Amino acid sequence: MKIMIQGTSSSCGKSLTAAALCRIFYKDGYSVCPFKSQNMSLNSFVTIEGYEMGRAQALQAFAANIEPKVYMNPILLKPTTDHKSQVIFMGKPISNMGAKEYFDFKPRLKNKVYEIYKEIEDKYDVVVIEGAGSPAEINLKKDDFVNMGMAELADSNVILVADIDRGGVFAQIYGTYMLLNKKERRRIKGVIINKFRGDKSLLEPGIKMLEELIPVKVIGVVPYFEFNLDDEDSASGFKNFLREGINVAVVRLPKISNFTDFDAFKFEEDVTLKFISRPEEMAGSDMVIIPGSKNTISDLRWLKQKGFEQAIKNFDGIVFGICGGYQMMGKELVDEEGVEVQKGEYEDGLGIFETKTVFLKEKRLERVEGTAFSNRVYGYEIHMGLTVNNKNPFVYLKDRLDGDYKEDRFYGTYVHGIFDSGEFRSYILNKIRRKKGLEEKSSLDLNEIRSRELDRLEEIFRENVDIEYIYSLL
């Protein structure tokens, strides 16, 4: 059995709708697997086997109570510049390609995607398939195996999700439907209107008129709710969380990646989390985080050009670098093999640590676990740089030491998700609370919070969507 979720646009709620259905089918006793043939995202996840996949499908796997596997997202595109992306197939990088080069390459992947999907369908009771962007992107229909092309390969019915919060929801739905051919239209069996605020009764006349214009039933109106679950990519925006107490600022690098590293702070009732683009915005912050980057040298140059270099060195608080941010805090970055910039090109780092990072073509992909200042930490590494001369490593992994720290205020590590650990997050935040005269607190692990949020998502969908009708479509 299978069902496919497509959307009228990016960030309309496809991923969370798929996650909700995975949770519902799992809770109803079925074995469920998410699937998205192709994902474009800088927010990736590392499997236990050391493969890279889209973060959204990992979340959907958690919703289905199964371990994320790379076959759930066979193709991952990670933008490296405005014109090129790293193409990752079954968890491993193939090449960096421009748009035209990739579209010429795509037909070679279609049969492989179909074979992977069929193996999943044979293994699980239900497959929840997610599309990408919109099926009405008529310029991209040739050799499509992501939206209606994937629905055809899987022979699946489709539910269309539309975002009313952006406005123009009826035009979104009608326009999407009318740009499809007759064969594609027949696959759309239901519409979910997502992110609704207000009185549903005011929407009913519009729904009635829409159902008269197109022969598709509106099977649910999902209210606007804040779900602090893993975002697929920056298309969903960088939302600030403003509260009284501690102020955490994340530098919004142009090529920021793996920004779910900061999700755990959203659950701290006394923590403000904000994304900043100018050094002046650091004012009033207690901790500044330099995040990961898909092009570290390019983002380091941006950081300097914006005036962050001196502001970070002079900052009277904690500076925490993760992955690319950690690399930037060192003395020198050298691209010996032309991984990010030209072969042999180098850039002076911020000079906080004595480290030197050399970029090599081999990518490190690994789930890790250990301790930091005697607090449990866990997460994953995903980087192409080798960093040496770290004088004061503070992360003790099973087989090595990681990171560097200085003066009890500068920290750097390769461990993505280090703040997911309730123990380590408490350790860092309580240092700040003591300094500010605030009461110390204990934090929950993000895994526990995620499970609670998925249950809440399931409950809201059961209350507002015709789940029995969806079962009839399987």
Do residues 290 and 328 touch, judged by C-beta distance below 8 A? yes
Do residues 121 and 2 touch, judged by C-beta distance below 8 A? yes
Instruction: Bin 408: left if φ > 0, else alpha if -120 < ψ < 50, else beta.
Output: left
Do residues 454 and 34 touch, judged by C-beta distance below 8 A? no
Considering just the CA atoms, what is the radius of gyration of the chain in Å? 23
Side-by-side strand order, sheet with 126-130: 32-35, 126-130, 2-7, 158-163, 188-196, 218-223
| Long-range contacts formed by 435-440: CB under 8 A, 24+ apart | 435/286, 436/245, 436/246, 436/286, 438/245, 438/246, 438/270
Catalytic sites, residue numbers: 323, 416
Do residues 251 and 288 touch, judged by C-beta distance below 8 A? yes
CA–CA separation, 141 vs 149, rounded Å?
Answer: 8
Give the pLDDT confidence score for residue 235 in this predicted structure. Answer: 44
Give the pLDDT confidence score for residue 232 in this predicted structure. Answer: 56
Do residues 386 and 297 touch, judged by C-beta distance below 8 A? no
Total residue length of the chain: 474
The tokens for 282 are: 């650091």
| Long-range contacts formed by 65-74: CB under 8 A, 24+ apart | 65/26, 66/31, 66/32, 66/33, 71/35, 71/116, 71/119, 71/120, 72/33, 72/34, 72/35, 72/36, 72/120, 73/35, 73/36, 73/37, 73/38, 73/39, 74/37, 74/38, 74/109, 74/112, 74/113, 74/116
Place of tokens 């009839």: 472
Angle value at C-alpha 190, between 129 and 40, nearest 5 degrees: 35
The tokens for 62 are: 């958690």
CA–CA separation, 287 vs 304, rounded Å?
Answer: 19
Compute how many other C-beta atoms are within 10 angstroms of the C-beta atom of residue 450.
20
Place of tokens 């499509």: 144
Q: Identify the DSSP state of 416.
A: B
Residues 6+ apart with CB under 8 A from 299: 253, 254, 255, 256, 293, 324, 328
**CA terminus-to-terminus distance, the chain:** 5
Which residues in 122-228 belong to E strands, given as ranges? Answer: 126-130, 158-163, 188-196, 218-223
Q: Count the alpha carbons within 13 Å of 79 in the hemisphere toward its beta carbon.
A: 15
Give the pLDDT confidence score for residue 306 in this predicted structure. Answer: 97
Instruction: Bin 411: left if φ > 0, else alpha if -120 < ψ < 50, else beta.
Output: beta
Give the pLDDT confidence score for residue 385 in this predicted structure. Answer: 85
Q: Report residue 394: phi and psi, to 5°.
A: -125, -5
Residue (of 15, 11, 88) closest to 47 by Cα position: 88
Residue (of 348, 323, 301) closest to 411 by Cα position: 323
Residue (of 23, 22, 57, 20) closest to 37 by Cα position: 57
Evaluate whether 2-229 and 240-445 have a shared fold.
Answer: yes
pLDDT in tens, the chain (474 residues): 999 999 999 889 999 999 999 999 999 999 999 999 999 887 788 999 999 999 999 999 999 999 999 999 999 998 877 788 889 999 998 888 888 888 888 888 999 999 999 999 999 999 999 999 999 988 888 889 999 999 999 999 999 999 999 889 999 999 999 999 999 999 999 999 999 998 888 899 999 999 999 999 999 999 998 776 765 554 445 667 778 899 999 999 999 988 889 989 988 999 999 999 999 999 999 999 999 998 899 999 999 999 999 999 999 999 999 999 999 999 999 987 777 777 778 899 999 999 999 988 788 889 999 999 999 999 999 988 899 999 999 999 998 999 999 999 999 999 999 999 999 999 999 999 999 999 999 999 988 999 999 999 999 999 999 999 999 999
Residues 6+ apart with CB under 8 A from 286: 246, 247, 248, 317, 318, 432, 435, 436
Residue extents of the structural domains in the chain:
2-229, 240-445
Q: What is the largest CA-CA distance in the chain?
A: 70
CA–CA separation, 341 vs 368, rounded Å?
Answer: 29
Place of tokens 């994902």: 39
For 463, the 3-state DSSP assignment is: helix
Q: Which CATH fold would you assign to the domain 2-229?
A: Rossmann fold (3.40.50)
> Dihedral through CA 40, CA 46, CA 49, CA 51, nearest 10?
30
Task: Spell out the alpha helix ranges (H) of 306-445.
Answer: 308-313, 324-328, 422-436
User: Tell me: domain 240-445, CATH 3.40.50.150, correct?
Assistant: no
Q: For the chain, percent helix, then strand, then coil, each to nearest 5?
A: 35, 30, 35
